[in-house]
């Protein structure tokens, strides 16, 4: 959550100011606030484990590319955003009503956590959107480059690491005014200790200089600039895709090939374009609303704040949906995920059998079943002609099965394929 982005919920609860409860938009906000906690938890409980899966798959040795490295850190950022959102949603939306103001809910500890959540999620969300920009830039540079080979591959990974470090460092510096603009105070005229966030007076003549500068910097460098860069490089990627399709169509026409179906474009590029479109849908409207909040009186409290929970859930869905995109659009991602699950299953099977002391019995039972199967299917046909050959077949098959059960690494080695790379810089992923 961030104060000027994701979770700008029921403003009167945090600052003590009042909204116009007769406004239709505010009425919708109050109604949705009753279920927002449960909806956001469902999204987080889906997004957190799936982002862990993304990280696990993308960090496999044979999956290491510059694009995958950026996608990995994007998954880390998205996961951290949702991890900090869970306690916030439970306490401020489920355990207590979203419009409730009390000493039990607004304790100093929980309000300090709220400030941490505001600033930390603002940081992670800014890192995510700039990582999205770097995806577009790196992909476009890769498509324009004709260089190949292991040395080029290593250089691209090094450049991606440098870009990630610069993005994280610059995002921290960018968010310093946001860190300084939020603080706590005791709500006046109350008999109990109720802590609230100091009113920033956004959209009023009383706004402080640091808050005005914070909103200008944030809207420019965390919203409009990255969205503009995504639009520019997204357009360049679309143009590159169109040129590639035209070149391939001309080549096939010269070869006399009749095309009965449209040519497939690079799924990697299409996937990255979808990721950028999702960022634009989530971030660009927020940037516009922030600018309007700066220059239009009461726009922040009357429009931006009631839409806070809606912007929250859109951002959370954007953080959680990448796993679905990867599985639906990339075969190598699915293959690697299946391999990991099979490997973990074999290791668990071996550990369970060893722990319970049943390894020998399982192997013996498998050998007996295998022998019966071979005896029923093979022996009746060939034993009269070549009894020695039949015995050899049974011995070889049984030995293979027994070696697999005893040493699962044998199976794991057989299913490894070190030639495949998801989201490769130069080749299309089918």
Instruction: Give per-residue pLDDT as tens, 64-76.
Output: 899 999 999 999 9
Whether residue 120 is contained in a domain is answered as: yes
CA dist., res. 227 & res. 229, Å (int): 5
Higher pLDDT, 289 or 387: 289
Higher pLDDT, 38 or 211: 38
Number of domains in the chain: 1
Q: How far is CA 17 from the centre of its chain?
A: 36
- Element spanning 197, H or E: strand 195-197
Q: Within 10 A of 284 (CB to CB), how many other CB atoms are there?
A: 17
Quick one: pLDDT band at residue 406, thresholds 50, 70, 90? very low
CA dist., res. 258 & res. 256, Å (int): 6
Residue pLDDT, tens place only, 213-245: 888 888 899 999 999 999 999 889 888 877 877
Whether residue 375 is contained in a domain is answered as: no
**Strand 195-197 relative to strand 184-186, pairing:** antiparallel
Q: Domain range spanning residue 111? A: 36-257+264-339
CA dist., res. 300 & res. 4, Å (int): 10
Whether residue 384 is contained in a domain is answered as: no
Whether residue 20 is contained in a domain is answered as: no
Whether residue 21 is contained in a domain is answered as: no
Whether residue 140 is contained in a domain is answered as: yes
Whether residue 175 is contained in a domain is answered as: yes
The enclosing domain of 214 has a CATH number of: 1.20.1070.10
Residue pLDDT, tens place only, 359-368: 444 434 444 4
What is the average per-residue pLDDT within 118-123? 92
Q: Within 10 A of 402 (CB to CB), how many other CB atoms are there?
A: 15
Give the burial class of 38: count Cβ atoms within 10 A of its Cβ; 0-12 exposed, 13-18 middle, 19 or more buried. Answer: exposed
Closest CA to 171 of 73, 88, 89: 73
Whether residue 153 is contained in a domain is answered as: yes
**Helices 225-254 and 267-295, interaxial angle, to 10°?**
150
């Amino acid at each position: 959550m961030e104060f000027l982005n994701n979770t700008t919920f029921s403003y009167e609860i945090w600052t003590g100011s009042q909204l116009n409860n007769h406004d239709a938009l505010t009425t919708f906000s109050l109604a949705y606030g009753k279920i927002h906690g449960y909806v956001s938890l469902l999204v987080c409980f889906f997004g957190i484990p799936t982002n862990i899966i993304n990280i696990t798959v993308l960090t496999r040795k044979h999956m290491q590319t510059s694009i995958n490295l950026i996608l990995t850190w994007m998954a880390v950022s998205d996961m951290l955003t949702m991890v900090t959102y869970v306690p916030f949603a439970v306490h401020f939306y489920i355990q207590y009503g979203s419009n409730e103001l009390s000493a039990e809910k607004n304790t100093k500890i929980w309000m300090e956590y709220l400030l941490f959540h505001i600033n930390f999620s603002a940081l992670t969300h800014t890192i995510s959107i700039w990582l999205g920009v770097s995806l577009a830039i790196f992909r476009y540079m890769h498509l324009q480059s004709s260089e190949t080979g292991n040395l080029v591959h290593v250089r691209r990974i090094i450049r991606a690491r440098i870009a990630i470090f610069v993005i994280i460092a610059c995002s921290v510096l960018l968010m310093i005014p946001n860190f300084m603009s939020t603080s706590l105070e005791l709500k006046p005229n109350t008999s109990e200790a109720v802590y609230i966030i100091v009113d920033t007076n956004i959209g009023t003549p009383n706004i402080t200089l640091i808050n005005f500068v914070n909103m200008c910097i944030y809207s420019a460098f965390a919203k409009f600039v990255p969205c503009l860069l995504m639009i520019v490089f997204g357009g360049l990627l679309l143009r590159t895709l169109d040129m590639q399709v035209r070149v391939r169509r001309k080549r096939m026409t010269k070869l006399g090939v009749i095309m009965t179906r449209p040519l497939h474009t690079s799924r990697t590029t299409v996937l990255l374009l979808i990721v950028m479109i999702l960022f634009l849908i989530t971030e660009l409207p927020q940037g516009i609303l922030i600018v309007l909040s700066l220059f239009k009186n009461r726009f922040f409290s009357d429009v931006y704040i009631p839409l806070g929970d809606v912007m929250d859930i859109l951002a959370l869905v954007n953080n959680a949906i990448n796993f679905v995109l990867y599985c639906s659009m990339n075969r190598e991602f699915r293959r690697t995920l299946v391999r990991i699950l099979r490997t973990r299953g074999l290791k668990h099977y071996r550990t369970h059998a060893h722990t319970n002391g049943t390894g020998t019995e399982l192997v013996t039972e498998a050998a007996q079943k295998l022998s019966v199967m071979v005896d029923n299917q093979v022996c009746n046909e060939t034993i009269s002609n070549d009894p020695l050959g039949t015995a050899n077949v049974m011995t070889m098959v049984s030995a293979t099965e027994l070696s697999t059960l005893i040493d699962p690494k044998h199976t794991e080695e057989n299913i490894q394929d070190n030639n495949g790379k998801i989201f490769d810089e130069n080749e299309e992923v089918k």
